[in-house]
Structure 1
Amino acid sequence: MKSLLLTLGLGLMAALRAQTLPVWDEETQDASGTWYMKAAAADEEIPWKKLESVSVTPMTIKTLAGGHLELLSSRMGGQCREISTVLEKTDEPGKYTAHGGKRVVHILKSQVDGHYILSIEGEMHGQQIRMAKLVGRDPEVNPEALKDFEKVAAARGLNTQSIFIPKQREACSPGSD
């Protein structure tokens, strides 16, 4: 009986390790530059998915001292404004915290070159969220990267029916409409 339990336990550990996804390696890869959000998925319906005219602007990532990352983007909400989020590096490779530790962000490497998946868990507007975003270096949607993203979203327990592909647009200037 003990050997059966040991065998099952080791088998379960091996299966869980096999599902581990490769993470972004900040030692050998440079995240700095322009990135485009190509798709998003959540554990529930994404509220803004219902808006047909939703578009996103490119984001700029800067590498800061200590391996932290700064994400800069512009958003429309009646008026254009710049949003800055700092991802604070943790001791775990590919794992960052944001908003004073309220959110945990894992940067996962896609199987398609030039693409990464940001897996986000934590609090947003008083509610717990789990979502993922596919980002890439160019604005065009890559079908292979999208297929890989769908697999990762499903493996992380996200609703693959909620996958949303936003329209791309140029960055707006703060203060403009």
Structure 2
Amino acid sequence: MEEQQSPFQAAIKPGLTIGLVSLALTFIAYFIDSSLLGSAWFGLVALVMFFVLIIYFGTQYRTELGGFMSFGTAFNFSFVTMVISGLISLIGQLLLFHVIDPSLAGVLADQAFETSLSMMEKFGQDPDAMDPAMLEEIRKSTAGSFTLAGQIKSFGVGLIVYAIIALILGAILKKRDKSLDY
């Protein structure tokens, strides 16, 4: 009889796969038009792909376990998968923003700043009426998210987001054996 993998062992291959797919999408978008990396729809497509692939790999793992999986196992599998794929994406982004195209971070920071200003206008705030020091602080904060420290800090915050998403995915992927209820 074959020994079953722990959720941590089972999450390695899907984590690597999702991370590499995410990295490939990032570089494809970069080569097509680097401004795509700052667009909301690209982020939405990446998020949907992320969910779909984790659910796909999670159901495969559940089948491997005999068709049933506890919430804790599903949570651990999902969280470790996301952490591994997040690390791969972080490494790829560090390479992209600091080695391949160091000017890209500035371009995306400016794009994000302009998007922030347009959102303020949609909610009734006139950016021209704002204190110039406050606008400069928003610009610095936006640019800071593309630095090495900013990206590492974002990954740290991302771990909290991964845990929340893993809770949701754990609830989706769990399936208990009702025959054991008696």
TM (normalized to structure 1)? Answer: 0.22
Higher relative contact order (CA 8 A, sep 6+): 2
Structure with greater proportional helix content: 2
TM (normalized to structure 2)? Answer: 0.22
Asked which structure has the greater CA Rg, the reply is: 2
Structure with greater proportional strand content: 1
